[in-house]
Copies of this chain bind each other. A is one copy, B any other.
Amino acid sequence: MQYLETFRLIEAIARAGSIRKAAEDSNITASALNRRLARFEAEFGSQIFERLPRGVRLNPAGELVLQHYRAQRSDLGRVQSQVADLSGERRGHVAIACSQALLPFFLPQQIATYRNAHPGVTFAVNVRDREQAEAELSSFRSDLALVFEPMVLVDFAVLHAIPQPVCALFARDHPLAGRSELRLRDCLDHPHIAPAQKYGVRGLLDMAAKRVGRKVSPVVETESFELIRYYVMHERAVGFQIPIGLSSEKDTGLVFRPISGRDMSPGNLLLGQMRGRVLSVATSRFADQVALALAKMSDG
């Protein structure tokens, strides 16, 4: 849309921190950009950037303007999606913020299924930890969030929730593989590899360990869930993850078992959107599909 150009440029200025840098990024001259900004501020009735010696910075009014722009752009997307829906074909774009655990199996399959039915819909998948996920929704950078144990929940409206027990994973020939019930203390007695503290799985582990007077002391601590899965195949170590990120195929040599409910209660995997926002048709239908898949999974 042509008429949103000025807002887009304003956003670029805010991001770059200076008119000249933003002008370069946007492939126009600083002069033109400066004038657009000046004209906008005149029409708007107030400055939206404070001028610093080394550049510019959004003032509170500018923050409001930018937020307005993002909301408006999002709503325009919703309108276009609904219009496309009127003519039968479904078009649109869905931006998802999700935890790492959704990457290997769940999301690829869900997206492929949806795109098979509606090839006109495109996707963006943004991997975010549970703290960033809500900010991602608030700033309209993502339409949906699918995260394990998110943190604040003020702008986050829950669409669907399923419990996910923390699972221990290890190689097939690991001593723990024979146990019928897996206790937390047994896992902690072995060398273990755990996610960094910002992740929900780790938070649940730390809490549960503290309750039984133990501590999680991983031999490897990482931000990569993928690394954890591969590492336990190389050292006789115990890893921790939630089942949605793990394959139930038997031929991988990887085994996973939920940790006994006596030691730790399951966390929640939440599907959510920004509170109060109207989603586009494409996004809304995709959310329905995901919710249904999650429900089936926790039933079956």
Q: Using a CB–CB distance below 8 Å, which chain A residues touch chain B?
A: 1-4, 6, 39, 43-46, 60-61, 64-65, 68, 71-72, 75-76, 79-80, 82-84, 86-87, 276
Report the separation of the CA atoms of residues A4 and B61 in the bound assembly, to the nearest whole angstrom: 20
Residues of B within 8 A of A86 (CB): 60-61
A43, A60, A61, most chain B CB atoms within 10 A: A61
- Asked if A68 and B64 sit within 8 Å, CB to CB, the answer is no
- Asked if B46 and A83 sit within 8 Å, CB to CB, the answer is yes
Of the residues B44, B61, B76, contact of A1 by C-beta under 8 Å: B44
- Asked if B44 and A80 sit within 8 Å, CB to CB, the answer is yes
A-B contact pairs, 14 of them (CB 8 A): A1-B43, A2-B39, A2-B43, A3-B4, A3-B6, A44-B80, A45-B80, A61-B83, A64-B79, A64-B82, A65-B83, A68-B76, A71-B75, A72-B72
Residues of B within 8 A of A68 (CB): 75-76, 79
Report the separation of the CA atoms of residues A227 and B259 in the bound assembly, to the nearest whole angstrom: 79
Residues of B within 8 A of A82 (CB): 64
Residues of B within 8 A of A61 (CB): 83, 86
Closest to A75 in B: B68
Report the separation of the CA atoms of residues A46 and B83 in the bound assembly, to the nearest whole angstrom: 8
User: Nearest Cβ in chain B — how far from A58, in angstroms?
Assistant: 12
Report the separation of the CA atoms of residues A39 and B68 in the bound assembly, to the nearest whole angstrom: 25
Report the separation of the CA atoms of residues A83 and B60 in the bound assembly, to the nearest whole angstrom: 8
Report the separation of the CA atoms of residues A276 and B278 in the bound assembly, to the nearest whole angstrom: 10
Residues of B within 8 A of A72 (CB): 72, 75
Report the separation of the CA atoms of residues A2 and B5 in the bound assembly, to the nearest whole angstrom: 12
User: Nearest Cβ in chain B — how far from A143, in angstroms?
Assistant: 17
Q: Beyond the given A1-B43, A46-B84, A60-B83, please list 6 additional residue pairs across the A-B interface where CB-CB is below 8 A.
A: A3-B3, A45-B83, A61-B83, A64-B82, A64-B83, A68-B75
Report the separation of the CA atoms of residues A167 and B252 in the bound assembly, to the nearest whole angstrom: 82
User: Nearest Cβ in chain B — how far from A35, in angstroms?
Assistant: 13
User: Nearest Cβ in chain B — how far from A293, in angstroms?
Assistant: 29
Report the separation of the CA atoms of residues A64 and B2 in the bound assembly, to the nearest whole angstrom: 19
Of the residues B6, B65, B83, B276, contact of A79 by C-beta under 8 Å: B65
Closest to A91 in B: B45
Closest to A6 in B: B3
Residues of B within 8 A of A45 (CB): 80, 83-84
Report the separation of the CA atoms of residues A276 and B46 in the bound assembly, to the nearest whole angstrom: 27
Residues of B within 8 A of A76 (CB): 68
Residues of B within 8 A of A276 (CB): 276
